[in-house]
C-alpha cells in the first residue's frame, strides 16, 4: 500500500473519537482532509472501520475507554477481549489489539452511540436500561450480552426497535 493512502495517526484518532461520540461527529469529520471525508461520512462511518483497524491498530487504551463508558468491570472487559483477567491486567495501555478485538470495540461504540440516541443523550437512563432484565431479550440483561458479536447485534436491534416504536 502506498504511503499516500495511509491514514495519519491524527486522522485515525479523529475518526475513532467521532465513532465513539467523544466529539460531535459532523464537526470531527469536517476537520479531516478531503481524501477521507467521503469514505467516513457519518452515519456510515463504521463501514471504513476495518481500514482504520488495519492501518492504525487500536490499543488497550481504547478498550478501557469503551469499558469505562459502559461501566464494565475488568472481568467483563477481559471477556470482550477474549482473554483472562490476569492477561488483561498485564497488558500495557499501548498494547495493540487484534483486528477481531478492535472490531468488537467499534461494535460496542456503535451500540453506545445508538443507546444514547435512543435515550435522548441521557446516559443514566441508558445505563439503567442496560442493567435491567428486558422481556424482549428473553429476560436477559443487555450488558451481559455484550461479550459476543451476536449479543451485541441483539442489543443493537432492540435499541432500534425502541427508537422506532416497534413492540
Helix (H) or strand (E) holding 120: none
pLDDT at 112 over 50: yes
With CA atoms as reference, report the closest residue to 89 among 77, 100, 99: 77
Per-residue pLDDT at 80? 87
pTM of structure: 0.68
Rg from Cα positions in the chain: 16
**pLDDT above 90 as % of the chain:** 37
Task: Determine what percent of the chain is predicted with pLDDT higher than 70.
Answer: 66
Average pLDDT over every residue of 7-29: 58
pLDDT at 35: 43
| pLDDT at residue 162 tops 90 | yes
128 or 95, which is more confident = 128
Q: Three-class SS of residue 123? A: helix
**Grid cell digits, residue 115:** 443507546
Q: Which residue has the higher pLDDT, 7 or 125?
A: 125
> How do residues 25-38 score in pLDDT, each as one tens digit?
455 445 544 444 44
Q: How far apart are CA 51 and CA 60, in angstroms?
A: 18
Amino acid at each position: 500500500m502506498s504511503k499516500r493512502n495511509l491514514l495519519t495517526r491524527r486522522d485515525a484518532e479523529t475518526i475513532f473519537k467521532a465513532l465513539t461520540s467523544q466529539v460531535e461527529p459532523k464537526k470531527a469529520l469536517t476537520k479531516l482532509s478531503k481524501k477521507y471525508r467521503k469514505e467516513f461520512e457519518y452515519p456510515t462511518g463504521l463501514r471504513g472501520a476495518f481500514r482504520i483497524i488495519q492501518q492504525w491498530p487500536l490499543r488497550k487504551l481504547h478498550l478501557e475507554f469503551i469499558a469505562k463508558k459502559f461501566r464494565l468491570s475488568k472481568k467483563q472487559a477481559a471477556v470482550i477481549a477474549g482473554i483472562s483477567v490476569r492477561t488483561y491486567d498485564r497488558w500495557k495501555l499501548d498494547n495493540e489489539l487484534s483486528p477481531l478485538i478492535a472490531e468488537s470495540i467499534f461494535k460496542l461504540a456503535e451500540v453506545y452511540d445508538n443507546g444514547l440516541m435512543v435515550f435522548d443523550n441521557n446516559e443514566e437512563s441508558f445505563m439503567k436500561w442496560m442493567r435491567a432484565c428486558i422481556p424482549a431479550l428473553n429476560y436477559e440483561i443487555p450488558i451481559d450480552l455484550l461479550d459476543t458479536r451476536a449479543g451485541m447485534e441483539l442489543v443493537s436491534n432492540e435499541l432500534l426497535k425502541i427508537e422506532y416504536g416497534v413492540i
